[in-house]
Structure 1
């Protein structure tokens, strides 16, 4: 599997974190742990499917995925390639009129949001384009045409920054008190912009913070307690939901991104 990353142009930089082009000559299963970015995937060669226990769900050529708290196993058929748009944490809502928080734990065809003829045209053009740089230009033109009038919600942006600064361990009631806003009003604004509740978002940040430390199994209990897990069984349950594996299996041999 080969992964090539490109940065967005200045116009789209407030909304797009990066573009990734994934190529796989052989059949592989990729483990994708939850992240804090919505993703838009354009498959331009081969076939991609989600694996769920014994089920295999083939994905459409253009798929829009919300935030998740559970791992995804993605099967790439031989000779498969896709272009992934990774949105910034407050960027996806600038392109979609429908409430994006309804996509939590969901992946849907992009034609739920835009015309099927338009999606088919983009997919066909990608399949016929040889240079990756030209593909990025094509996708940026498409995204720019879908950019709605956008006024940044600075309060939500500040909340996201504070959640990251505390590794996802900041209590939401303290966050709302510090930002001088009621919890109900805050949650409505946060869900609208980010696509999840603040608690769900904090949970994703917290678990990624723990994983990024690549702790030894001996230190894992201490790190889990430091990040707000009240006991080891509770942490183990959440960890397996998040990664699909026990801590021992995940840190021992897991390949993921």
Structure 2
């Protein structure tokens, strides 16, 4: 499966990590995806995609067209069709906020059809990009759509979230929430409320996800892995807590995860893993 992506031009780059196309035969049809510091928009131009929540009470979702995903705090699975054609936007954790007119909590741990968020827009967007054969032209059209939807003025509290969440991003979640509130001159309750509105979760939860992302991306399965060293470098100082969070986030123990990485070296730097 081919990936073609790019970081969008300012001011979109404050909210979006990349806009990309996925095309072709997937390496693996079904993938296990841990929590990552991101939200997404997917526009599907191929056969249906199926999504499974790790919460067994949530029914399987099937999307033939497109969907938004807010920040996820637990793992999920995605099953690609035999041939993939997806166009996607990879938002920063706070990145959806200036493009949608609803609290981010309504998208947390959820897949929501595009038309439920951008009313009566998906067919128009799919028609504009459906016949394009150039990924560069496709990405240009998607960026233009995003620029047209970017709010002229930031919503209340978004500036505070941009500043504090940006510090979490740079530090990989290593800053204490108390230090963030003190530097920003606000109470912990106020900061948490603004994060819930614009990110969907508290600053502490965002820090946990950044910390885990740093850990998982630092592992090179081609080498001997000292999990205690990696965990400490990522900010885990309680090994029991590290082991529990790792299993919750990936569905595997560190040893099981490493064995899976070594079986599928093509995905060395990509957090999703084949679902066995």
Fold match by TM threshold 0.5: yes
Q: Using a 3 Å threshold, how does the CA distance of structure 1 residues 191 and 60 change in structure 2: closer, same or farther?
A: farther
Aligned residue for 1:169, secondary structure, equals coil
RMSD value, Cα: 2.5
Aligned residue for 1:149, secondary structure, equals coil
Residue 163 of structure 1 and its aligned partner are, at CA, apart by 1.9
Q: Corresponding residue for 1:199? A: 204
Comparing 198-207 and 236-245, the one that deviates more: 236-245
Correspondence for 1:148 among 146, 151, 154: 151
Comparing 100-109 and 166-175, the one that deviates more: 166-175
Cα distance in 2 for partners of 1:28, 1:84 equals 18
Q: Corresponding residue for 2:264? A: none
Q: Using a 3 Å threshold, how does the CA distance of structure 1 residues 76 and 188 change in structure 2: closer, same or farther?
A: same
Q: How does 1:126-205 map to 2 (within 5 A)?
A: 126-151=129-154, 153-205=158-210
Aligned residue for 1:82, secondary structure, equals strand
Cα distance in 1 for partners of 2:81, 2:256 equals 25
Residue 222 of structure 1 and its aligned partner are, at CA, apart by 4.3
Aligned residue for 2:102, secondary structure, equals coil
Aligned residue for 1:141, secondary structure, equals helix
Q: Using a 3 Å threshold, how does the CA distance of structure 1 residues 57 and 213 change in structure 2: closer, same or farther?
A: same
Q: Using a 3 Å threshold, how does the CA distance of structure 1 residues 112 and 76 change in structure 2: closer, same or farther?
A: same
Q: Could you list the runs of 5+ residues in structure 1 that have no partner in the other structure? A: none
Per-residue CA shift, 1:189-242, capped at 9, x if unaligned?
Answer: 222333321011011001111112217776313443565545333222211221
When normalised by structure 2's length, the TM-score is 0.82
Residue 176 of structure 1 and its aligned partner are, at CA, apart by 1.0
For the pair 1:33 / 2:15, whether they are aligned, the reply is no
Q: Could you list the runs of 5+ residues in structure 2 that have no partner in the other structure? A: 262-266, 272-276
Q: How does 1:33-52 map to 2 (within 5 A)?
A: 33-52=34-53
Per-residue CA shift, 1:53-104, capped at 9, x if unaligned?
Answer: 7974312411100111222221111112101101234331111110012221
Q: How does 1:1-257 map to 2 (within 5 A)?
A: 1-25=1-25, 28-52=29-53, 56-116=60-120, 118-151=121-154, 153-214=158-219, 219-225=226-232, 227=234, 229=236, 231-254=238-261, 255=267, 256-257=270-271
Q: Using a 3 Å threshold, how does the CA distance of structure 1 residues 231 and 21 change in structure 2: closer, same or farther?
A: same
Residue 51 of structure 1 and its aligned partner are, at CA, apart by 3.3
When normalised by structure 1's length, the TM-score is 0.87
Q: Using a 3 Å threshold, how does the CA distance of structure 1 residues 228 and 13 change in structure 2: closer, same or farther?
A: closer
**Aligned partners of 1:190 and 1:196 also within 8 Å:** yes
Q: Using a 3 Å threshold, how does the CA distance of structure 1 residues 60 and 202 change in structure 2: closer, same or farther?
A: farther
Cα distance in 2 for partners of 1:141, 1:167 equals 31
